[in-house]
Structure 1
């Protein structure tokens, strides 16, 4: 299973310079999903926004029974968001944008149209695995519970840690909690 997501990491690196444009929006997510390879549950929360070009937000995560990290107490981190946006069908780069600015587009074939992508720099909160790294997550708002047809309120399509003490860690699945995508608040300049 680890090799599958290492392949995903390579795919992400290959497609980094292409993908769909990010639109302004906000996401709030919180809940549990199955541990990555362990017996327990993982806890994921995210609050991120891209509004009028301003990016903000935080991600928190804990998976105490994560396989490959279980002996050291699992994966646990707090993170600061540096990239966020709702993935659109529009190609990148938008007119006048620089293709090298990866905060402007979603990772093609990983975070697709309708998903909200968040990139973050994390700090491990597990004393047995100190350090910093980076990662990204793609999530989808699928409606309200049973009405969604999936019996869940949100999907964490993928979360992949690309560097640091948890490099290669990944998780995905339906969330027992919620993912909600919102419009940005209207600014005073909007007519």
Structure 2
């Protein structure tokens, strides 16, 4: 019994060994190549993790997505329930013990400098109704630099883990922008008397 518990603790530690999320905000929007289709996908995200509070929305539409073309593509609106900038710091041991996945970035998928969001989505395609969960990792790739290819952001990956679009994923450069922002100063940050 103790060996099984030790194995479970080691497996949990390995899963939770990703980097910790830190407070920051992200705004992203633009188009990227459709997942296997001939068209473009439209992606927007606005998310924040400030003083531990998480908020935001994700909207997505890929009408020519391969495997979903016959049903009118992938289209959803989502509410963000987990977010943060992936840091170089490991997850706090107390957070790892709690098992709260919202405290850390997905190991080997969302790495240092990327912004990760987890969301609950609702399909806006009437031929594929339902709800599910997913996540996305993105980063700003051109802070103040003109890339020449019209891309200022990178969607490292977006994966829908359940619901009517389970298994759908997409990635690529965004011909729009991904911008990271500091959180606004908290009222508690002002200590002037």
Alignment gaps of 5+ in structure 2: 1-12
For 1:128 and 1:145, the matched residues in 2 are separated by 42
Write out per-residue CA displacement over residues 93-125 of structure 1, whole angstroms, 9 at most, x where no aligned residue: x15324400000000100000000000000000
Q: Are 2:147 and 1:161 aligned? A: no
TM-score when normalising by structure 1: 0.88
Alignment gaps of 5+ in structure 1: 1-13
Residues 134/16 of structure 1: CA separation in 2 closer, same or farther (3 Å cut) = farther
Q: Is the 8 A contact 2:159 2:168 kept in 1?
A: yes
Specify the structure having the higher radius of gyration (Cα): 2
**For 2:172, what is the secondary structure of its paired residue?**
strand
Query: Within 5 A, what are the aligned runs for 1:79-90?
Result: 79-90=78-89
Residues 176/145 of structure 1: CA separation in 2 closer, same or farther (3 Å cut) = farther
Q: Is the 8 A contact 2:141 2:154 kept in 1?
A: yes
Q: How many residues align?
A: 178
For 1:35 and 1:45, the matched residues in 2 are separated by 14
| Equivalent position of 1:121 in the other structure | 120
For 2:70 and 2:14, the matched residues in 1 are separated by 34
| Equivalent position of 1:64 in the other structure | 63
| Equivalent position of 2:5 in the other structure | none
Poorly superposed stretches of 4+, deviation over 4 Å = 148-151
Q: Pick from 89, 94, 97: which aligns with 1:96?
A: 94
